[in-house]
Amino acid sequence: MSQAFDPGEPNARYPFPAYPNGWARVGLTDELAVGQVSPIRYFGRELVLFRTESGHARVLDAHCRHLGAHLGVGGTVAGESLRCPFHAWCWDGDGNCTDIPYAKRIPASAKIGAWPVCERNGFIFIYYDPTRKRGEAPSDEVPEVPECSDPEWSPFSRLRWKIRARSYDMGENAVDDVHFRYLHGAASMPSTKRSDVRGSRSNLSKMKLDTPQGKVDGSIESTNVPGMGLVYVRGICDTLIVITGTPIDGNYVDQMFSYTQKVGQEATRAKLGKALLRDLEKQMNEDIVMFEHKRYFTNPLLVPEDGPIADYRRRARAQYHGDFSAMDSHEDGASEATPTSASDPGERTQPFGERDFDELASFLRATFKARRVERTDDAGSGEVELRLFGRADALKHSLVFARACLDRCELADLRGYLAKPLVKKGIAAGGEQPYHVPSDLVGR
């Protein structure tokens, strides 16, 4: 059985899957004591994080397979398992039911989603890969970072933001050389050298840093390794920033900077080190304004001096499962984000609602280059009509669905059907004929 989680739907603001594969920080070592249980929400899912009596951090899907209680709200650690507060079923870190205190036997199917966990460098990470089979080992490892446990380096100070953006944006920002000059006011444009180190891309930027004592030569070296971005700042005061960002859902990311500096640097340097951290915080606050209001263009207009943005995008795509095809026709799409969080595939109990309509409309806009999609419900005929308008508000096409069929089908199936070459060709050809989607093709 693969973990049944949502791969993260594209939406109008970001026409690509929400969640990159790999390790992502969901907790901090010093915030999870033995026996502690905390509800967390990442990857559009309710999860529960707990530490067993032997000290292992574990993460499970939050809802008890019995009658759905939230294990993070009132659940208690019992040995290596987590006991549900409702009827005391116990679940171990692999998602197996280990006890039903009042039952003769445990049903063979008593399992819940369990996430691979790695605790390292003071962080607790889980591994996201929607195609991973239960029990299958992740394909990479979070590396040990020596500075994180070296007494020569200070304990971490942290900054944390909830940002209306995606991890994708954060990565792109790091390779966007020019914005350092114009958005962040760096004294000069960084000159960046890039190299591949042990399969990770590393960037070395040299720049003049403004200090109260005039301009100083500085360098920033950044590398991405599984679970973390590592940024070494040199020139003023040796500093390591560990950047971890985890998608909360398709629209928000939980971003954290954890700083450590070499201890015992002389007073002036230590003061400059503090100023540097303040400056990095200022930079993040400037970036956030961009992140939260920008739109993702599939084909941005770049000049050679923009640096390796296109290269970053090619590499970043490899981290995602799912459909990027909507990206290719996105520029004519609409502007507003649609919430995409937390719908479990296969659990459709709601009739076709607003959220579904918004998602379907953004798909139709992107796929058929429609400027606007309008919806009319006809209670008499039991039909829903979606009208696609092109430029100058000319009606491009009209799709008619049986309401009962919409209520029954999965959005993904419906989209899959509409994206079939022949169907797509028919719709793209336009015309004002209503197009009836046969209910047997999309219903199930």
Residues of this chain that interact with Fe ion (CB under 5 A) are: 173, 287
Question: Could you count the other beta carbons within 10 Å of the beta carbon of residue 359?
Answer: 22
Question: For ligand FES, which stretch binds (CB under 6 A), given 60-68, 241-249, 267-275, 340-348?
Answer: 60-68
Distance CA 333, CA 13 (A): 9
Binds 315: which of ligand FES, Fe ion, none (CB < 5-8 Å by kind): none
* 89 counts as binding ligand FES under rule CB under 6 A: yes
**Among positions 41, 70, 87, 206, the unique one binding ligand FES when judged by CB under 6 A:** 87
| Cβ–Cβ under 8 Å, residues 39 and 70 | yes
Nearer Cβ to ligand FES, position 45 or 201? 45
Q: How far is the CB of 184 from Fe ion (least distance, A)?
A: 6
* 86 counts as binding ligand FES under rule CB under 6 A: yes
Binds 287: which of ligand FES, Fe ion, none (CB < 5-8 Å by kind): Fe ion
Distance CA 378, CA 399 (A): 13
**Among positions 1, 4, 67, 103, the unique one binding ligand FES when judged by CB under 6 A:** 67
Question: For ligand FES, which stretch binds (CB under 6 A), given 82-90, 184-192, 272-280, 418-426?
Answer: 82-90
Beta-strand ranges (E) seen in 45-122 are 45-51, 57-61, 76-78, 81-83, 90-92, 97-99, 114-115, 117-120
Beta-strand ranges (E) seen in 142-292 are 157-163, 191-197, 200-211, 214-225, 228-234, 239-247, 253-261
Which residue shows structure tokens 């953006």? 165
- The DSSP secondary structure of 404-424, one letter per residue, reads HHHHHS-HHHHHHHHTSHHHH
Nearer Cβ to ligand FES, position 67 or 289? 67
Q: Is 116 helix (H, G, I), strand (E, B) or coil?
A: coil
Among residues 34, 75, 88, 79, which one has the least CA distance to residue 57?
34
227 phi-psi bin (left φ>0, alpha ψ -120 to 50, beta other): left
Q: Is 173 helix (H, G, I), strand (E, B) or coil?
A: helix
Q: How far is the CB of 88 from ligand FES (least distance, A)?
A: 6
Q: How far is the CB of 107 from ligand FES (least distance, A)?
A: 12
* 262 counts as binding ligand FES under rule CB under 6 A: no
| Cβ–Cβ under 8 Å, residues 112 and 7 | no
* 64 counts as binding ligand FES under rule CB under 6 A: yes
* 77 counts as binding ligand FES under rule CB under 6 A: no
Tokens of 374: 């309008």
CA pseudo-torsion sign 347, 349, 355, 358? positive
Question: Could you count the other beta carbons within 10 Å of the beta carbon of residue 50?
Answer: 26
Question: For ligand FES, which stretch binds (CB under 6 A), given 85-93, 158-166, 191-199, 311-319?
Answer: 85-93
Binds 173: which of ligand FES, Fe ion, none (CB < 5-8 Å by kind): Fe ion
* 37 counts as binding ligand FES under rule CB under 6 A: no
Q: How far is the CB of 348 from ligand FES (least distance, A)?
A: 22
Question: For ligand FES, which stretch binds (CB under 6 A), given 29-37, 84-92, 371-379, 390-398?
Answer: 84-92
Q: How far is the CB of 37 from ligand FES (least distance, A)?
A: 14
| Cβ–Cβ under 8 Å, residues 30 and 157 | no
**Number of residues counted as binding ligand FES (CB under 6 A):** 9
Q: How far is the CB of 54 from ligand FES (least distance, A)?
A: 23
| Cβ–Cβ under 8 Å, residues 50 and 37 | yes
Nearer Cβ to ligand FES, position 87 or 271? 87
Distance CA 410, CA 357 (A): 12
Nearer Cβ to ligand FES, position 67 or 263? 67
Q: Which residues bind ligand FES (CB under 6 A)?
A: 64, 66-69, 84, 86-87, 89
